[in-house]
A and B are shown apart, each in its own frame.
Chain A
């Protein structure tokens, strides 16, 4: 499924490239005379609003003679579908520069060194947005420039990282779930606790993330993911050590492949991975852990000193359009936070996306727990990994 998507995306990209090349061949010279003016006016408009970026803006205007300037997107690789970027470029004439990071922390470190400059749109996870906002690196969204803001389903708003809904646009919300292959598993899987079952020896895939895995252990004890009680964390750590013999692999990306290839029989997967796993093998069983759900939102925000703030607003408005929003969710395989998009989602897609929005209020975010608890989590994780090999 993913493969075919990539292939078709590549084909579309190739076709678009061919189209744009042939287009340029015919009218390239006309473009040359006309475009610098528009670019310059654009630059002036921007400069009037944010004088400190005037120089940067003009540099860019010179570089790019044929359109409405640039937009620098910073997020994980392939997280914004190429088809969406192409369409945005085509409709607005804004050239998109896509830079990717591997980890949220990498993004924040970079954002901090540039003091919220360099990038116009960042899509990252909830907890890091909270930290970025506290560090003053997030700009307030001018909702007049984003009329589609009202398309956001309120279920996906008012979260801890943006309680007043002033800074972010939810992009990829998800609930991680347990998925297993019933033909290979002899025990009954109902929640996190089931993963400790001895019959699952060396056949479980988990996320390579201490807070998520520790969170599972905490939930089996009826505790919150975000407890700062060191004794409780230690007790969860002791429990986690007993899970070691069952863990076959720790992985963040493409974890569903381990399940599909038979390398593991049960896995704790992100929403997108759940969708992809089910698409490939409908026989797989999905479990809503009885101890309690996790929940996470990847959201888009504009950094405090974004060089092309207007373009960033245009982009937010663009992805909040119903049709575009549907395309984003269909290709990222996360929940769709855009209520205007629901009618554009194919029925088949709605069915494969098993999570109902009713579950969302029950989900718990993983949030920062402060220096001491974080250090303890790290220590337990190191000990856990030493037990794994």
Chain B
């Protein structure tokens, strides 16, 4: 009797503490949920609602529901802007992958001390404002700038080129800004890799290239895909690079949204464009999950 009651007590007690612990666990999540609801969900909701409203004649928004804003996106002019942004984003992603993959791969294979050193060198540019770094490119690219002088000195060109304020200049700026994301993603998945699998493949008769293609690429795929997502998505929206290095001549979706907000004073249309951009990026992330089978982004997130 005595013994039994004691076990029952213990059971009761443990039950109680467990429930208490559950209760407390729930409490710790409140700030997280609160933050997400307040700063992520509500603004998005606001954006979606706004995208269905009508702009006022001169300033502000009228509470009149319409699908007009979405209908306007399908106009060839605006579809073309999406297409151009998409093209630039694809070009940026492919180039960063081509440069960033080997970079990240070999970085992960360096001795530990030099690895940390390299990591630091990759991250250091982030300490300066991205805007400042773009102005640095102006100094290099402008007519009679550093690159022009170098090319003329080498005898490659005879007179100053018009390098700045062009599509290629924007592309260079994009690649430069987003390359670190690719490097770090590839690096982190290569760093985690089990090299004995590559050795096994080699032992079983695979050539270096075969082993790389069948084992290494597959195992670093999450890194590659997260790099692609981390490069592709921002490159759809980085409007200041297009403004600075494109001399205001390259219009991406980001520039279009900014224009609609400012000189266009058409907030609902800007919201509709943003919603489209969000849907587009969500599809990218969904694809990433499907392809890689990974729920989280490798590396930075």
Interface residues in chain A, defined as those with a beta carbon under 8 Å from any beta carbon in chain B: 103-106, 108, 112, 131, 134-135, 202, 208-211, 247-251, 261-263, 368, 370-371, 374-375, 378-379, 381-383, 385-386, 388-389
Residues of B within 8 A of A105 (CB): 261-263, 265
Chain A proximity mask over B263-277: 1 for CB below 8 Å, otherwise 0: 111100100000000
| B247 with A248: CB separation less than 8 A | yes
How many whole Å from B250's CB to the nearest CB in chain A? 5
Q: Which residue of A lies closest to B164 (CB)?
A: A263
B142 contacts A263, C-beta separation under 8 Å: yes
Chain B residues close to A by CB (< 8 Å): 55-60, 72, 75, 77-78, 80-81, 84, 142-144, 162, 164-167, 170, 246-251, 255-256, 259-266, 269
Q: Among A104, A202, A383, find the residue whose CB has the most chain B CB atoms closer than 10 A.
A: A383
A262 & B144 in contact (Cβ 8 Å cutoff): yes
A251 and B77 in contact (CB under 8 A), knowing A261-B143, A263-B143, A375-B264?
no
User: What 7 new A-B contacts, CB under 8 Å, besides A263-B162, A374-B264?
Assistant: A247-B249, A370-B58, A371-B266, A374-B265, A382-B81, A385-B251, A386-B251
Least CB distance from B140 to A in Å reads: 14
Most chain B C-beta atoms within 10 Å of own C-beta, residue among A202, A374, A382: A382
Which residues on B sit within 8 Å (CB–CB) of A251?
247-248
Contact A131 B263 (CB under 8 A): no
The residue in B81, B248, B266 that gathers the most chain A C-beta atoms within 10 A of its C-beta is B248
With most chain A CB atoms within 10 A of its CB, the pick from B59, B77, B250 is B59
Interface of B is mostly: loop
Which one of A131, A263, A370, A378 contacts B264 once the chains associate, using CB atoms below 8 Å?
A: A378
A210 to chain B: which residues have CB within 8 Å? 259, 263
A364 to chain B, nearest CB (A): 18
Q: How far is the CA of A112 from the CA of B59 in the complex (A)?
A: 10
CB pair A371–B247 under 8 Å, yes or no, is: no
User: Which residues from A are CB-within-8-Å of B259?
Assistant: 210, 378, 381-382
In the complex, the answer to whether A211 meets B263 with C-beta atoms within 8 Å is yes
**Closest 8 A-B residue pairs measured CB to CB?**
A250-B248, A249-B247, A388-B249, A385-B251, A208-B248, A378-B264, A105-B262, A389-B167
Which residues from chain A contact B164 at a C-beta distance below 8 Å?
A: 263
Contacts of A135 in B (CB 8 A): 59-60
Query: Which residue of chain B has the shortest Cβ distance to A369 in the bound complex?
Result: B58
A166 nearest CB across to chain B (Å)? 20
**Contacts A105-B261, A112-B60, A378-B260 given: A250-B266 contact, CB under 8 Å?**
no
Closest residue of chain A to B251 (Cβ to Cβ) is A385
Contacts of A368 in B (CB 8 A): 58
- Bound CA–CA A135/B60 (angstroms): 10
